[in-house]
Structure 1
Amino acid sequence: MTTIALNVNRRAVELAAEPRTSLADFVRDKLDLTGTHLGCEHGVCGACTVLLDGVPARSCITYAAACEGADVTTIEGLDEDEITTELRAAFTREHALQCGYCTPGMLVSARDLVLRLPDADERRIRVGLSGNLCRCTGYVGIVRAVRSVIEARRARNVAPQAGGGRTSLGPVGSGRAAPGRSEPPPAQRALAPASQSAVPGSIADFTPATVLDQRFTLPHPPAKVFAMFGDIAGIAACLPGVSLTAPPRPERVEGLIRVRLGPIAAAFEGAARVERDPATLSGRIVGIGTDQRSHSATQGEIRYRLLPLEGGAATAVELSIGYTLTGMLAQVGRPGLVRDLARRLVADFAANLDRHMAGVPPGPGTPAELSFWSIASDVLRARIARILGRRSGAG
């Protein structure tokens, strides 16, 4: 057995392994990072692709012992990466995945192309992805997704990065410094957040994979509702499952939201920033969070607009809720289930907000977590009521 010390997803790791252990087996079996998939185990299919010192590498044919002192980033380590987030949304939008087995390696390779290519040249994208095989999609959606991200970034004047982080010629990892270096390579520094904790140092804009629209009314004037939306602690107290973990500031709110989907319980710890426009009585909340237990991550955006009703005596609150979910919960977070969860969350939030603004003492209290089972019971009761209503109408 050999003791191997390296950095995996910005975390120092020192574990014993056989000299013949591949990097793919090391991250999967030793660290439970199963997003790195094994396909051919000959370096042909690309399912095992990870970043080694910021450069894509085949982990199935790379010995873990040869990575002593290196920085390794698996697909799990890219949850907060801006380019990967845009690619995930594009893959969903362009139907660029089916079974998903090749997708982690495909995303790692695609990220490298987005970094390097000056424009969305289809031929160069196809050549760049030729080392990642897919048995499902036919590649059309994948190429379209990568092209759309490159086009969008170049339109935003995000310049390509020469070499995509490569600092020397030769095999991946051959040009890195000796073990124990104090500074990570430039590409890895770009991936690392300002804070090494679960709470990111900055909250970047993103393109949501899914957007849901919701609306509710409050029997209070728009100006009063808008003022309430500026009370961050008060709003958090009205949201089921939400708690603040630090004194809130508009530019940074740190907190926790607890969710239960069947047998899976998650506690997303993260941060958000709040934007408000008094002139239009509108605003936006952008946040990001991770659940360490399920290796899941989410990015969310809530846009709201307040409209006067009944001559200004009441307010219609229009919400646009966008999110991107990755990790284990993404496998069970089907769109229908998420829509039901969002409807329940908004309904409970509206009721709590109305009571808070009316000065009514809180009832039993905000639930400690959002529960799938409570949603399922509500849906079941609603369906039974509809069936009974149809039968009574027929009689």
Structure 2
Amino acid sequence: MSTIALNVNRRAVQAVAEPRTSLADFVRDKLDLTGTHLGCEHGVCGACTVLLDGVPARSCITYAVACEGADITTIEGLDDDDITTELRAAFTREHALQCGYCTPGMLVSACDLVLRLTAADERQIRIGLSGNLCRCTGYVGIVRAVQSVIEARRARNIAPEPDGGRKVLGPAGSARSGREGASQPPRPIEAEPAYASEAAAAPAEIPDFTPANRLEREFALAHPPKDVFAMFDDIAAVAACLPGASLTATPSPGRVEGAIRIKLGPIAAIFLGTARIERDANNLSGRIVGIGYDRRSRSATQGEIRYQLAPIEDGAATRVDLSIGYTLTGMLAQVGRPGLVRDLAERLIAEFAANLDRRMSGASLGQGAATELQGLSMISGVLRARVARWLGRLVKRDGAA
């Protein structure tokens, strides 16, 4: 057992603890400061975050004996803090908490961000809070709350402290070491540049790949196959018919560079990518193979679209057979359930077919082609369709009974 002397919430504390006792257990069990929550106990979730010499630290993986002589601030020590008072009000206003288990650690980290950041930059805030996990809110309200407090304080000419009181760059608590020249001055969080300015050059070749998922769909157009095939050769026109799609460079006969914007509730993504185009005029078929990346969500995708045109109605109309293969990795892959993706693909193809038919008929697209793929509105339609199918099944069962 060791006797530890340190300052907790501006009060001198001396207590006995085993060498293996974590700082989180020390403040909770020895000092009854239970506002510091324990979650993963691996330093991952951030629920146990406290300020150690003014620096956010994971108390669950910090030994209490290593904090001899340090200044510790738990969430209880921020009761009268001006920044935390504003943050609590903002969290309530922006609905930034639900179960509240992560909130103490979230507030501690947010307080440090409000103190240091010069502007309410969403990217910097998300980076600063990336070590605090929440399973309830989706983070949107939390980010907005922090942004609103930073904006309000800067509007009142309250200047930031870029180093947040830190004296050296190193592990939390190293500021009290007093060693001159032990490390370099702290580096402020830098805003991430826009993807377009930092994107890697488009690859010279688009490789083939084996898709993780594949969908088979078809739709009909009231135009002859040769006209539809010629339309598919106009890449700019086709992109204008696809909701959320746009070109970022002038297409060449076998290659196209573009983007597709997706918004699914609070999740927004812009996939920038490159694709190669293959066409077979003899068989009225084609293939598009592409790769794309969304910097914001760190999600990447590979996609392949194969199409085959077949005459129907004595050649006056065309059936378009589609085979869509894709592989998605990153954050968006976690929300891409196969059943939902299939239903969304059907809605997307239906909108694309309707826009294509209007284009070929010489009508204006009007509101037909959205500048952003609004997944939320599509999901509403998908859910309505599913409910209708379920009700239909129930009616059939009742009738059979």
TM-score normalized by structure 1? 0.48
Task: Tell me: higher relative CO, structure 1 or 2? Use CA pairs within 8 A at least 6 residues apart.
Answer: 1
Q: Which has the larger radius of gyration?
A: 2
